[in-house]
Structure formats: C-alpha cells, structure tokens
Amino acid sequence: MAKGYWVSVYPVISDPEMLTAYGQLARPAVQAGGGRVLSRDGRVVAHEAGITHRVVLIEFDNFEQAVAAYESEAYQKALVALPDGFERDFRIIEGID
C-alpha cells in the first residue's frame, strides 16, 4: 500500500510565536495519527521558480491514515491556533508503491 504524505509550504510567517503554539498542539496530534516528520526547517536549494519558503514533510503508513490524521479532533484543535491571515499551502498526497 502506498504511503501518504502531508506537504506544507509556508510562504508567509508573520507571527512565529503563533506558529510555535500551533506546533505544540499539532505535533502530538500528528504522532497520534501515525505521522513521522521527515523534514522541517531544513536547508533548501531552490531551482526553477527559486522558492525557498519553509517546507514540512510528514509521512504516514498510507494515504487514508494521512487524511484521517488531518480530520482528527486533535489536529482540528491545532488548526485553531494558526494566526489570522496565516498563509500555508497544505496538501495530502499519495506516494508511489
């Protein structure tokens, strides 16, 4: 079965403290849902469009698990901690077997 992934790109972080508050709630919700952080705030070498925004990559055992973790009550509570005007490109994608 193909793995599932959360891919988050943060083009604008206007209030880093609020992002920290979100992270404190999101981290245990992601772990409870079976997620494993593969990359967060690592080094980036950008090509083509040259975008070097913060990227977070989280792996789940399968796509359904990734969707269920996002829809979980615990993660939905974490989303409330995101500040107003917060901008994030978030996707749940299916890996290749």
- pLDDT for 54 equals 86
Q: Considering only CA atoms, which of 6, 39, 24 is closest in space to residue 77?
A: 24
CA atoms within 13 A on the CB side of 72: 21
pLDDT digits (tens, 9 = 90+) for 28-65: 999 999 999 999 888 888 899 888 888 999 999 999 99
Confidence band for 13, pLDDT divided at 50, 70 and 90: confident
Q: Which residue has the higher pLDDT, 20 or 83?
A: 20
Q: Which residue has the higher pLDDT, 94 or 22?
A: 94
- pLDDT for 17 equals 76
**Residue % of the chain over a pLDDT of 90:** 58
Alpha-helical (H) ranges within 8-60 are 16-32
Rounded to two decimals, the pTM is 0.89
